[in-house]
Structure 1
Amino acid sequence: MIEDRRDFFQRLRQLDSRRQQAFMAALCERLQPNYMLFAENSGDGNPTGLRAILDLVWERLAVKEAHIDFDRQADKLAELEPAAGDDSFGARRALDAVVALSALLDTLRGDAPDAVFEVSRVSRGGVRAFIELTEGEDDAERLGELVRRHPLMADELDFQEAVLEAVEGPFDRESLKALRRLGRNEGVSNLGLSAD
């Protein structure tokens, strides 16, 4: 399994920057429902604002010449973070969505070579935290094994592999639309939750 992960990260590293950005955008799509659920349940946050920023990312991926002020978008995104004092599980998963999108914006604003790994890690980390919360295992070794074997983690790894395979293939407007649909995952987040 570890060798498979090394191969996965090597393949991610070999992608050109636009394909890495498309990979991150698909993962950000899948994190969106967590933010939406947090906003619905807490009254905090702005899912429409987050959606608008991610839509601009997809526009830039589809039209390289699109002139979008991603510095301004990064400022807007910072305002969408959950309140600093909110340490609830929902707020932390909503923050994951913001952090992942922020890392993606960093690549559009300049050089951020490790952003693609950060977004992959943030998405996996949220799944791990959800498993820890729902399974209630205190023993670290047993918990580690539980996380590795958990269907949600298997789904997360399979999803990231499917996205990577997609961005390694043809890269045109139609394939970007298909990638976006894949990322939306029929409205189901990486935690298996839906805002519908």
Structure 2
Amino acid sequence: MSQPRAGFHQRLQALSPRQQQAFMAALCERLLPNYALYVQMTGHGDPSGLRAILDLVWEQLAVREARIDFDRQAEKLAGLEPLPDDDSFGARRAVEATVALASLLDTLRGDAPEAVLEVSRASKGGVRAYIELTEGEVDARRLAERVKRHPLMADENDFQDAVLEAVENPLDRDALKTLRQLGRNGGVSNLGLEAD
């Protein structure tokens, strides 16, 4: 695993719950295309269901008075998870998207202090798994070096840094809109993949 930049985790944990939720929502946006690709390939799942849940999260962030039943959303999300017996690469990346969104919902339903770190690690873990799959390196030390220097990992680190910087500033409606666009990343996932 590539080493986090100095103070990254401390900065994440120092965020207010709302800032952490905004950070996680942006990362979830970038994970959604991986889920959509899994659904395209298997016919199992519903990207619009995930999209609807994430849209409600953004609504809650923008309108603090919004009354949204996130217990109900968590139930819906559980029904959208990939098949438990599917251990394919695509299924694992789809699971990352649903787990990240579930972690985010946990913070909206109560106290989940580690959720922001879990979502950050899940996104990086998917990138690492993709690099390991595509590089085909068997030597662990050399593979670790390749992962660290790989353009996708550099992009992931830069992306998470940019999101962190964005949420450290006041999160008014315009800032949230900008953050959401950043997360959507033009429809390209953290793996550099795009769903139709």
Tell me if both proteins adopt one fold, taking TM over 0.5 as the criterion: yes
Secondary structure at the aligned position of 2:141 is classed as: helix
Per the alignment, residue 45 of structure 1 pairs with 45
Aligned to 1:139: 139
User: Partner of 1:23 in structure 2?
Assistant: 23
For 1:193, the equivalent position in structure 2 comes to 193
Which stretches of structure 1, 4 residues or more, deviate above 3 A after TM superposition? none
Cα distance, 1:137 vs. partner? 0.7
Q: Unpaired segments of 5 or more residues in structure 2? A: none
Question: Alpha-carbon deviations, 1:29-71, whole Å to 9, x = none?
Answer: 0000000010011101110100000000000000011000000
RMSD: 1.0
User: What CA deviation, in whole Å up to 9, does each residue of 1:143-172 have, x standing for no partner?
Assistant: 101100000000000000000000011210
> Does the residue aligned with 1:143 lie in a helix, a strand or coil?
helix
Report the counterpart of residue 108 of structure 1 in structure 2. Answer: 108
Number of matched pairs: 195
| Distance in 2 separating the partners of 1:16 and 1:22 | 10
Q: Distance in 2 between matches of 1:193 and 1:70?
A: 29
Q: Distance in 1 between matches of 2:90 and 2:6?
A: 31
Unaligned runs of 5+ in 1: none
Letter of the 1:33 counterpart: P
**Counterpart for residue 62 of structure 1:** 62
Q: What TM-score comes out, normalization by structure 1 length?
A: 0.98
Structure 2 residue aligned with 1:183:
183
Which residue is equivalent to 1:168?
A: 168
Identity %: 72
**Who is 1:35 aligned against?**
35
AA at the equivalent of 2:95:
L
Instruction: Tell me the SS of whatever aligns to 1:91.
Output: helix
Give TM-score, length-normalised by structure 2.
0.98
Partner SS for 1:83: coil
